[in-house]
Amino acid sequence: MTEVLRAAHYSCTPLTSLEKLASDAAADVDLLVYHWSPTAASQRQLVALRQVRPILPILLVTGRSPDHALSKLLTDPSTDYLVKPVRSHELALRVTILLARFAPQQAPLPTLRFGPYTFDPHSTQAWHDDNPIVLTRKEFLLALLFFRHLGRPLSRATIHEAVWPKVAELNSRSLDTHISRVRSKLALRPENGYRLAPVYSYGYQLEGLEFPEQNPVTPGV
């Protein structure tokens, strides 16, 4: 995970104890990625850390769906989680979103451009050329997820985990509805050079289409 985050241009420092985050030397730490263990000791450490760093974004990595102890921690909006095995693109995206929401002053995020589309992760605003696109936060995350993995099929489970991490089960029709709205609002149609289509029995894929140049017709003499 450290390699993935460093490749995404984050500075990462492994820690052997959460107690180090309570020191003045750790004041410039913007986010914690923590391997969650459902033990009383882990719970006490996180509670103690929250008392010292109440607004520190925390991403918990767990080996299973949230149990009761973890669910209590997730009532804090600045705490999120991922279930192992951790997918690299989901890790980077989740860290980006957490920093944008809860530590914007420490993590100014670059505007992302994909052809005529522009995405601002900080404000969750999108544009097509210079025209703003009105998206909900979930629609923004969906659109950005597809563009960051252009040409790659994404499973329903991957999409669910990346965009709805705190929802144990997502209705299939609800996912399809959100994706349909993204397709419509961003006009992801072949005539615009993109196609957002279902992958049978798997998920969805955003494709970038290339069109041959049309040579002008030379009028006859």
Position 221 scores a pLDDT of: 33
Position 84 scores a pLDDT of: 85
pTM of the model: 0.53
Q: What CATH architecture applies to the domain 1-108?
A: 3-Layer(aba) Sandwich (3.40)
Position 204 scores a pLDDT of: 93
Position 188 scores a pLDDT of: 92
Residue 36 neighbours by CB under 8 Å, 6+ apart: 42, 60, 61, 62, 70, 81
Position 168 scores a pLDDT of: 67
Collapse the DSSP code of 93 into the 3-class scheme (helix H, G, I; strand E, B; otherwise coil) and give the result: helix
Tell me if 1-108 shares its fold with 110-210: no
CATH of domain 110-210: 1.10.10.10
Chunked into runs of 10 residues, the chain (221 residues) has average pLDDT values of: 82 79 68 84 80 83 72 76 84 83 59 87 85 92 88 85 74 89 93 90 87 40 33
Q: Domain segments of the chain: what residues?
A: 1-108, 110-210
